[in-house]
Structure 1
Amino acid sequence: MLLPEGLHIVEPHVSCDVTSASMLPAQLSPPLSNGLSMPQIQLGVYLTSGNETVRAVRWALEAGYRGIDSAQMYHNEREAAQAITEFLASEGNKDGLTREDIHFTSKLASNSSYEAVRRSIKQSVKTCGLGYIDLFLLHSPYGGRKARLDSWRAVEDAVDEGDIRIGGVSNYGVKHLQELMAAKPRTMPAVNQIEIHPFNNRSDIASFCQDNNILVEAYAPLVRAMRMKHPTVVSLSSKYACTPAQLLVRWSVQHGYVPLPKSVKKARIMENSEVGGFQITDEDMAVLDGLDEYLVTDWDPTDAE
């Protein structure tokens, strides 16, 4: 079982009541390959409308989240960034946070030519109005080898020019990462965001990323609520006095991943971050790992040509 360095853990069987010690979203991930870090738990806003995005992001920031995950294809970059800007200027910003304290992610809609991708990145930066984007990902490996490599070169230059701070990829399989590595880029992706949870544990991709210092971000960490009533999930949730969602988020954290739980409900946004008050044992982590059925809840570009 992998534990992020510096992560504060207490013994199991502690209830998940709301306390500062039980909340992890403001804690940082292990250092990335470029030396930077990101919030350990972040809010995902996939399939979230504009108004829902504004409300959810605001609630998340008030609850202690410091990372928001959007994308060009989500059509809510502007609203997510708007909520960040409004929160920072509001009385709800009790800790005096600044732009630099919030981690904002977006993703390229489709791989293309170098010039088209540079324009697309600049447009996202302009749309957000945050000055820069903290993490920018190639959303998928679709488009073929040339488009992937040209798009990555555009990301590298965007980092050099200050439009983004960290470059990464999403939905990349091992073969796509090996392809990029063989092309000898100036930098490798610091992050690979993939669907990963106990019912699709992506052991091949996760192991490759770990071996090559690529942090795994976990989208759909709650399995899009498809397995909340699974007997093992229900049993272990009872054992650790937490909800099924908290158990699944905790599984991601203990593997060293950065989970991106999504909700538009205030109570659940808070609940999903309250996973610092218990630790899943090695034995129970192995039980959860054994639930793998390669369950894909949305799309699976990891084997794209």
Structure 2
Amino acid sequence: MTDNVKEILQGIGNGMKDAFAGTLKIYSMDSELSAREEKVRKKREEWARLKGRPPPKKEAGETRILFRIIQCCTFNGGVFWCSIAIFNNIVLPLLEKLTYYIVGDSAVQSLVVWSWLGPMLSYTFSALWVIPLFLLSKIVNSLWFQDIGDLAYRKSRGRPQMLGLSTMVADLLFSIVIQAIFLIQAMFVGLIPLSGMATLLSLFHLCLLYSLYAFEYKWFNMGWEVHKRIHYIESNWPYFVGFGLPLAVCTYLPQSQIVSGCVFSMLFPLFIISANEARPPRQLCEKTIRVFHLSVELANKIFHKTMRTPKSATDQSTGTVTTSISLSTS
């Protein structure tokens, strides 16, 4: 029993250490990536010279990791979050004082006017600014996150080992469905009528989910299918709880879901880099927790109703479909 607790605590500590350690390499990653690409370019030029062919054209300078991180912080923190803070803490109070000044000395009448004017202004601001910008941020962030993940992988491992097109599409769709269901599962767990236990269980789910988010860019480029990614997390859950814990705590503290999303979008690129630099333990944990089992089962049921699997096989460890999934034409 003591050894199991020690193993779990050690795994959590190693995960937290790797989550912070990877971010320390941000400033050196671009130079290392440039050195790797320059080495590859010279090899191509040498090969072309030996074959008597013209040297390959020099590719235009690509966007670097640090630049993408600055973009994420500027857009999500400097534009999105700051605009909400300015409206709530500066614009609304000024408009409230202006309303009291225009209405006059009648405090009751001023309160009545502001009781409908204040919410109307908040709803208008949300409808015309917050919601459109939130939807835009989801699209833009997903592109930037993918770019950061690809650049970090090229720096640490070189060329990605991509899956086949049909397998890649099916794997991506299946992974998105599992993550969406698991997020709902984390929300329901947080409703348990035991406040302390509910908070711990919800954080536990978020830690594993955020770790899956961060490592998925790396594992996807390594050619790992979704059943292997989930099984690996469930089998090494102490490490991945520790890895996702800092991000889970930072996003759990804000009361507003919008602010929580801004915090996530600013910090998540750092965890993508840490995941690419991390070396999770190869030895499986003695106590495997199949926390994704329910989400995988529900995702399988959804896919079986909307897709057909000609020669489907189910992975014994997670219950996921491991063969190709083709869209149904009916």
- TM-score, shorter chain, exceeding 0.5: no
Per the normalisation by structure 1, the TM-score is 0.29
Bigger Cα Rg = 2
> Which structure has greater strand proportion?
1
Per the normalisation by structure 2, the TM-score is 0.27
> Which structure has greater helix proportion?
2
